[in-house]
Amino acid sequence: GGSASPDAAGTSSSSGSGGELTGTLTVFAAASLTDVFTGLGDQLMAENPDLDITFNFAGSSALATQITQGAPADVFASANQTQMGVVTGAGLAEGDPTVFTENVLEIAVPPDNPADVTGLSDFADADLTLAVCAPDVPCGAAAEQVFEAAGITAQPDTLEEDVRAALTKVELGEVDAALVYASDVQAAGDQVEGIGFPEAEDAVNEYPICTLAGSQNPGAARAFLDLVESEAGQRALTDAGFRSPTS
Amino acid sequence: MSLRAHVVVRRGALLVDVDLAVADGEVLAVLGPNGAGKSTVLRVLAGLLVPDGGRVAVGDDVWDDGDRHLPAHRRPLGMVFQDHLLFPHLSTTDNVAFGLRTRGVRRAEARSTAEGWLRRVGLEGFGDRRPTQLSGGQAQRAALARALVGEPRLLLLDEPLSALDARTRLTVRAELRRHLAEFAGCAVLVSHDPVDAMALADRVLVVEDGRVVQEGTPAEVARMPRTDYVARLVGLSLLPGVGRGRSVELDGGGAVAVAEEAQGPVFVAVRPGTVSLYLSRPDGSPRNVWPATLVAATPHGSTVRCDLDGEVPLTADVTATAFAELGLQPGARVWASVKASEVAVYPR
Amino acid sequence: MSLRAHVVVRRGALLVDVDLAVADGEVLAVLGPNGAGKSTVLRVLAGLLVPDGGRVAVGDDVWDDGDRHLPAHRRPLGMVFQDHLLFPHLSTTDNVAFGLRTRGVRRAEARSTAEGWLRRVGLEGFGDRRPTQLSGGQAQRAALARALVGEPRLLLLDEPLSALDARTRLTVRAELRRHLAEFAGCAVLVSHDPVDAMALADRVLVVEDGRVVQEGTPAEVARMPRTDYVARLVGLSLLPGVGRGRSVELDGGGAVAVAEEAQGPVFVAVRPGTVSLYLSRPDGSPRNVWPATLVAATPHGSTVRCDLDGEVPLTADVTATAFAELGLQPGARVWASVKASEVAVYPR
Amino acid sequence: MAFLVLPLLGLLVRAPWSELWPQLTQPQVGQALRLSLVSATLATLVSLVLGVPIAWVLARSTLRGRSVLRALVTVPLVLPPVVGGVALFLVLGRQGILGRWLYETFDYTIPFTTTAVVIAETFVAMPFLVISVEGALRAADARFEDAAATLGADRWTTFRRVTLPLVAPGVAAGAVLCWARALGEFGATITFAGNFPGTTQTMPLAVYLALQSNPEGAIVLSLVLLAVSLATLLLLRDRWLGRSGVPT
Amino acid sequence: MAFLVLPLLGLLVRAPWSELWPQLTQPQVGQALRLSLVSATLATLVSLVLGVPIAWVLARSTLRGRSVLRALVTVPLVLPPVVGGVALFLVLGRQGILGRWLYETFDYTIPFTTTAVVIAETFVAMPFLVISVEGALRAADARFEDAAATLGADRWTTFRRVTLPLVAPGVAAGAVLCWARALGEFGATITFAGNFPGTTQTMPLAVYLALQSNPEGAIVLSLVLLAVSLATLLLLRDRWLGRSGVPT
Ligand SMILES: Nc1ncnc2c1ncn2[C@@H]1O[C@H](COP(=O)(O)OP(=O)(O)OP(=O)(O)O)[C@@H](O)[C@H]1O
Ligand SMILES: Nc1ncnc2c1ncn2[C@@H]1O[C@H](COP(=O)(O)OP(=O)(O)OP(=O)(O)O)[C@@H](O)[C@H]1O
Ligand SMILES: [Mg+2]
Ligand SMILES: [Mg+2]
């Protein structure tokens, strides 16, 4: 953890070994990290008044495409290993990515749970209107794993293109249940209720982060990575429904 | 059954206020310059335009009257437009059958009636053609058949001949005359060609600036025009003045000697053929002699039409030979003379 | 400098193949029915349509010739269209100045020249109006000014009067005549109104179906029409036949006695006013007497025009009084007679 | 020009053509293509039925609120399609204004069915049809309608037997635009209809999902979609797009 | 009608109006709104410059390949916008056909700049302009162009001084459509330009992000976008959309 306290940063000289950060830092992060990363970025900028952080939040695959097309990014935080693999495969990552947080699946139901969904087995009920993610996207791949582990043949009505879309349908009461990430249930507040289930542990989604080889500001990039992995960073993530890496 | 209408309607800057009546079997021609409001009156009669006031009634049926407005498609009428407006996507037979079909006649019957009408207007065998494959005259005949097929009580014709070339116009005018003579309902014909009105109408209504300025039989209107517009149309020079016995003091200055007693406001009409031109002041029996300037000269068959400017503005027709002998050029100073007995006088 | 053109161009089903020549200061009228190809010829002369063959040259400059085609905007010409086609988004002055501006004249100078031309055509003070605020006659005058302002070598007029009402047409025709008389270049006027041709042109070219069918001075064409179309236009009945001394055997059957010796293929032209009608066969001096059926009767001023069908198809003008006295109705059987001395004969 | 063609060329050059055959033979692709074509065509038909009358009102009526109506018609153009999908839920969803009534009365729900695909595509694509047809109606000669009225045809008969045949080319052009837009519809469809192979997964949805896992395959898929639609557009000849104004 | 209005009503009814003020006063929202308006307007201007000549070629020239060209113009309508963004990368990206040359010669890259936003919006929205203007040109009377030619005006002068003023209402209508579509653009923008507040984050992107964490706020945001664009459209009065064909 290299982050200095606000007081220390305010008093140390700009050329001092305390390492006050300057310049701009560009962070490419998965859209689900919007709130947490914006908060952490504000904190780092408060500590380093000459540092300017810009975020580019979008779907992980769009970000990966942009990075491989030469986007001026310093940090990449992906919502899954696949898209990180695209970036590392292209040799654009500096060092090995680290997993900074995890997300597990939860069952999201509308408030008061009108269809009385109790657990994963209800996803085999063809009479319910159910949403899971498409297998092409991470939460869908995870859903396939948990169903396999539980020996359930799921009967979804729609294979959503991302968690957000699935959650919207729960919020509107248009589906009886959806399989989404715990962080998303948290973000939705009292619009949905979350139901945990034990099989979730079979498909933990890992969020890798790395600094990028072409970075113009490696020091600040490193500092942001450290902040994310610091206690404060982990607390912010936990508050948002993520959980710290288990390994 | 007959048409009685008082049409009041505002059209942009123009206020149209026209009264007209047409008896059964009668043809009324509405004559007037561009923009006078002729088409506007016809559109009101057709029900295509809601008037701002007045009343339209045919026989005992009121079509327009303050709160009441019978829409066009409920009026038993037929209309012929300047550009024929045959539906381009239908065959000629289907165009003619259209009005019957909208009135619920079955297809086969409507088509056979339509073909009968095509025969009557001389278009037998053209039924399967599209309007674009007809000549202008043929198209106008088909449009007439289309308007007549529903046996309307009122037939409206808006410059039915003016899109045709001179030769076709002669033919179609003659045919139209025959069909109008056979037609039992009321007919209103809009035109700005006096020949149409003379050839086709029983009565003429002259409209200028939205108002009726003259009404009468074609012969009356041609003989005694009441406005400059009509006078020019029928080829007369019109001079308003005040009668003082055997002389008329013109409003524009000067006086005209006339053959009959005249008192009060009158019109003097001079036929161009009766005006003679001289290079110097003539001494002779004609008592009307005025100096004038030749403004324009237009050959017209074997005569030359000379527009004269001066105290008394006149038009003179002189033979081409005389014109050449006088060696006249625009701008030349001449003397114009007319015999008092050749001058027509009638009250204003 | 003068126009010499041989225009060959295919237009849909019509093959146009017309030869024409116009001297400087001369006005050539091209007359013909709808769809004859008149506008097509004019478009080729203007450079708006690339001909399929032939040659267009003005003076020593070749405008069209096989591989060579001078585009419209490089030809020093002016054109007046039927619907005036003044640009609706420009003021009248700017419309007239347009041609000068495209030739690089400065704005102020172009506008003042334009205003001079507006004065010449009698539109002083109308320069700031939009074309929609001009009457039809005023618009056509402005279009003429627009065409003349560039001092063109060739002036093309495509039915410049036919969109005007009868009264305005008289005025504008007279003015046009004056401007054409002053114009130093070649002028080609397209029309289907013989009066325009008579009034405005030095020479007339009659085009039918893409071919020249007659050429001559207006008087020649009016006196000796060579096709039915021209004959009807100038109000004659045309009868082709073969001369056998004092008699002509008509191609359609029957014979006409004539006053002069005629041999070989000839045309016989009969003026309607010279035809008399009788209810029974007349015994008298006229040697030409034929039975006929009255097909149509149209009043025409104080006379009635009667279309006759029979071995010899004719048109007769009889006075309204005579018509009424004879009690004629379409379908009536009559005898028509013409004096041999009233019949014109000329070689085919 | 280059601006439009180059990106397409870029796609063509970079596309992994070796992927083409394996992709095409996937049953899901055939299914998605068929569903796309069927639903876009249905959406076009629905748009014709609903949109032509609206266009008529915009072009011919003298209603006061016409400019408001015209602005409303362009709403689906500006609304992000995902929000459009949410809006459709609010009306036709199980909890929606009309949808709830449907659900409670007939036990029928629209979302997640092929019907929902058609509705979403119609919502997004209809404005194109309306705006094109309005243009055609304005350009058409209204005097033919007068002529029909004097022949006893009421408004509806006139519209059906005179106006519509006259503006047929404009309607065809509008239908083409509408069809093309429906074919490419993504956001509103995935939100309101969901994504289930065989019932609601259209080609754009398949492309989007493929982009997540197999970007090269996705490009091939979208080129297939393009090829099919271009082929269709080329078959509709010039004359469908109205009489030419070429000055010769 | 109801079909268009009801969903909008649904949104209006369900929108959490209490969110409106807090959302509006966020500096990012103001920034995104400003950027949206600026870039949509620029995209419309670029589309006018490029699209009007294309429309002229489509309507007036007698080129053989016109129907191919017309089909190409509709490509961006059918291409899923995300794929459109990828296609733009392939041409203008740092590795792209033109982009590489730009980068190596001028050390300039287009993606992730406001320029990229304008390009993405232009790519997607220009077809609307082209198709509208083509319609207007076809409806315009080509004889005025003949008249101009006989007055010595070459093709370019004629186009500039006669044709363009005559079809101004049609061009305006096309520009409105184009602007509306550019304003709502999402997929190609987020792919090709990224989502950087202040430089490339337009309103639809802000709506997308808000959807991740605060769906209600997202709806409010899109209603704000709607209101702004509807207000603009209403200001453009009826007459901008060409002379009326109303038969009275
Ligand atoms: N739709 C309209 N709205 C407003 N004013 C109109 C409309 N149509 C015509 N006018 C105006 O009404 C006046 C009368 O037009 P109308 O068509 O009745 O004249 P007209 O006598 O038939 O002329 P023309 O001989 O040229 O056909 C004209 O000044 C014209 O400009
Ligand atoms: N753009 C075109 N393409 C093909 N054929 C055409 C075109 N324009 C006119 N035509 C045809 O060419 C023929 C001659 O037309 P043109 O306009 O030259 O006749 P016109 O003698 O001027 O007739 P009008 O008196 O009616 O003006 C007509 O049969 C017409 O249908
Ligand atoms: Mg009129
Ligand atoms: Mg012509």
Q: What is the pLDDT of residues C258-308, one digit of tens each?
A: 888 889 999 999 988 888 888 888 777 677 889 998 887 776 656 778 888
- B89 contacts chain D (CB < 8 A): yes
| Whole-angstrom distance, CA of residue B341 vs CA of residue C8 | 59
For ligand 2, whether the C-beta of C36 sits within 6 Å is: yes
Q: Which of A59, A157, A168 sits opposite D86 (nearest CB)?
A: A168
For ligand 1, whether the C-beta of B140 sits within 6 Å is: no
pLDDT at C77 over 70: yes
Q: Which of A32, A69, A171 sits opposite E89 (nearest CB)?
A: A69
Closest Cα to atom 30, ligand 2: which residue?
C35
> How many domains are contained in chain D?
1
For ligand 2, whether the C-beta of C83 sits within 6 Å is: no
Cβ-proximal residues to D200 (8 Å cutoff; 6+ apart), any chain: A158, D35, D112, D113, D114, D116, D117, D189, D193, D194
Q: Which of C135, C136, C233 sits opposite B166 (nearest CB)?
A: C233
Contact D151 B156 (CB under 8 A): no
Residues of E in contact with C78 (CB under 8 A): 150-151
pLDDT at D246 over 60: no
Whether residue D235 is contained in a domain is answered as no
Q: How far is the CA of B18 from the centre of ligand 2 (A)?
A: 40
Residue keyed to tokens 């009343």: B55
- Dig out the tokens for A181 from the structure: 């990430």
Q: How far is the CA of C13 from the centre of ligand 2 (A)?
A: 10
Cβ-proximal residues to B267 (8 Å cutoff; 6+ apart), any chain: B224, B225, B226, B238, B239, B240, B241, B345, B346, B347, B348
Residues of B in contact with E247 (CB under 8 A): 48
Whether residue E87 is contained in a domain is answered as yes
Q: How far is the CA of C138 from the centre of ligand 4 (A)?
A: 22
Residue type, B30: V
Band (C216; pLDDT cuts 50, 70, 90): very high
Q: What is the pLDDT of residues D89-136, one digit of tens each?
A: 888 888 888 888 888 888 888 888 999 999 999 998 898 888 878 877
**What percent of chain C is predicted at pLDDT more than 90?**
44
CA within 13 Å, CB half, E227: 11
| Whole-angstrom distance, CA of residue E167 vs CA of residue B310 | 49
Residues of D in contact with E82 (CB under 8 A): 186, 207-208, 211
| Whole-angstrom distance, CA of residue B202 vs CA of residue E146 | 45
More confident call, A20 vs B117 = B117
More confident call, A47 vs D71 = A47
Chains in contact with C, where contact means 3 or more Cβ–Cβ distances below 8 Å, are B, D, E
Mean pLDDT within D40-50 = 94
Residue keyed to tokens 């001084």: E161
Cβ-proximal residues to E158 (8 Å cutoff; 6+ apart), any chain: C73, E145, E148, E149
pLDDT of residue E146: 92
Q: How far is the CA of C34 from the centre of ligand 2 (A)?
A: 8
Neighbouring-strand partners of residue A77: A29, A209
Whether residue D217 is contained in a domain is answered as no
pLDDT at B60 over 80: yes
pLDDT of residue B185: 92
CA D104 to chain centre: 30
Q: Name the residue among E122, E130, E116, E119 with its Cα closest to residue E72.
A: E130
Q: Name the residue among C328, C309, C333, C318 with its Cα closest to residue C254.
A: C309
| Closest Cα in chain E to D180 | E78
Residue type, C31: L
User: Number of Cβ pairs closer than 8 Å across C and E?
Assistant: 66
DSSP state of B186: E
- Three-state SS letters, B9-72: EEECCEEEEEEEEEECCCEEEEECCCCCCHHHHHHHHHCCCCCCEEEEEECCEEEEECCEECCH
C308 contacts C317 by C-beta, under 8 angstroms? no
Interface test with B, best of D146, D150, D171 (most B CBs within 10 A): D150
B158 contacts B190 by C-beta, under 8 angstroms? yes
pLDDT of residue C136: 79
Q: Which of B156-165, B228-237, B257-266 is modeled with the greatest confidence?
A: B257-266
Closest Cα to atom 7, ligand 1: which residue?
B11
- E81 contacts chain A (CB < 8 A): no
For ligand 1, whether the C-beta of B32 sits within 6 Å is: yes
| Whole-angstrom distance, CA of residue E183 vs CA of residue E176 | 10
Q: What is the pLDDT of residues D130-175, one digit of tens each?
A: 887 887 787 777 889 999 999 999 989 999 899 988 888 778 878 8
Tell the burial category of C215 from Cβ atoms under 10 Å away from its Cβ (0-12, 13-18, 19+): middle
pLDDT of residue D75: 81
Chains in contact with E, where contact means 3 or more Cβ–Cβ distances below 8 Å, are A, B, C, D
Contact C87 E162 (CB under 8 A): yes
| Whole-angstrom distance, CA of residue A45 vs CA of residue A224 | 10
Helix (H) or strand (E) holding A231: helix A231-239
Strands C77-80 and B53-58: unpaired
For ligand 1, whether the C-beta of B173 sits within 6 Å is: no
Ion ligand 3: residue ranges with CB closer than 5 A: B 39
Closest Cα to atom 22, ligand 1: which residue?
B39
When the pLDDT of each residue in chain A is averaged and rounded to a whole number, the result is 86
| Whole-angstrom distance, CA of residue A200 vs CA of residue A145 | 9
Cβ-proximal residues to B194 (8 Å cutoff; 6+ apart), any chain: B31, B222, B233, B234, C166
pLDDT of residue C72: 93
Q: How far is CA E24 from CA A25, A247, E204, E222, in A?
A: 27, 43, 15, 11
What are residue C197's phi and psi, to 5 degrees? -60, -45
A interface with E, Cβ–Cβ below 8 Å: 31-32, 34-35, 54-58, 62, 65-66, 69-72, 164, 168, 171, 187-188, 191
**What percent of chain D is predicted at pLDDT more than 90?**
18
For ligand 1, whether the C-beta of B37 sits within 6 Å is: yes
Contact C167 B33 (CB under 8 A): yes
Min Cα distance B50 → chain E (Å) is 9
Whether residue D214 is contained in a domain is answered as no
Min Cα distance D103 → chain E (Å) is 17
C177 contacts B298 by C-beta, under 8 angstroms? yes
Name the CA dihedral angle for A130, A136, A138, A143, rounded to a multiple of 10 degrees. 40
CA C72 to chain centre: 25
pLDDT at E169 over 80: no
Domain interval for residue D110: 37-194
Taking domain C235-347, whether its CATH number is 2.40.50.100 is answered by yes
Closest Cα to atom 8, ligand 2: which residue?
C11
Mean pLDDT within A218-233 = 93
pLDDT at B166 over 70: no
Helix ranges (H only) for chain D are 2-14, 20-25, 27-60, 66-73, 75-78, 81-92, 99-106, 114-139, 143-150, 155-158, 164-166, 168-184, 187-192, 203-213, 215-235
Pocket test of ligand 2: the residue of C9, C17, C40, C211 to mutate, having most ligand atoms within 8 Å of its CB, is C40
Assign a CATH topology to domain C3-226.
Answer: Rossmann fold (3.40.50)
Residues of D in contact with E229 (CB under 8 A): 74, 78
Q: What is the pLDDT of residues C96-120, one digit of tens each?
A: 999 999 989 999 999 999 999 999 8
| Whole-angstrom distance, CA of residue B304 vs CA of residue D124 | 72
Contact A54 E111 (CB under 8 A): no
pLDDT at A1 over 50: no
Q: How far is the CA of D141 from the centre of ligand 2 (A)?
A: 21
Whether residue E12 is contained in a domain is answered as no
Q: How far is the CA of C37 from the centre of ligand 2 (A)?
A: 6
Ligand closest to B36 (CA) is 1
Q: Provide the phi-psi class of E55: left if phi over 0, else alpha when psi is between -120 and 50, else beta.
A: alpha
pLDDT of residue D245: 33
C206 contacts C31 by C-beta, under 8 angstroms? yes
Point out the ligand 2 atom lying closest to the alpha carbon of residue B165. 25
Q: Which of D191, D196, D211 sits opposite A165 (nearest CB)?
A: D191
| Closest Cα in chain D to C11 | D248
CATH number of the domain residue D66 falls in: 1.10.3720.10
Point out the ligand 2 atom lying closest to the alpha carbon of residue C210. 14
Q: How far is CA D78 from CA A164, D75, E235, in A?
A: 22, 5, 16
Q: What is the pLDDT of residues A76-115, one digit of tens each?
A: 999 888 889 999 999 999 989 999 999 999 999 998 898 8
- Dig out the tokens for A159 from the structure: 């294979």
Q: Where are the domains of chain C?
A: 3-226, 235-347
Q: Name the residue among C152, C195, C197, C198 with its Cα closest to residue C45.
A: C152
| Whole-angstrom distance, CA of residue A54 vs CA of residue B174 | 87
Neighbours of E238 (CB within 10 A): 12
Q: How far is CA D174 from CA D47, D126, E167, in A?
A: 10, 9, 20
Band (B62; pLDDT cuts 50, 70, 90): very high
Band (C177; pLDDT cuts 50, 70, 90): confident
- B48 contacts chain E (CB < 8 A): yes
Contact A70 E111 (CB under 8 A): yes
| Whole-angstrom distance, CA of residue C184 vs CA of residue C177 | 13
Residues of B in contact with C169 (CB under 8 A): none
A159 contacts A179 by C-beta, under 8 angstroms? no
Residues of C in contact with E166 (CB under 8 A): 87-89
Task: Please give the order of strands across the beta sheet that includes A93-103.
Answer: A51-58, A23-30, A75-77, A205-212, A93-103
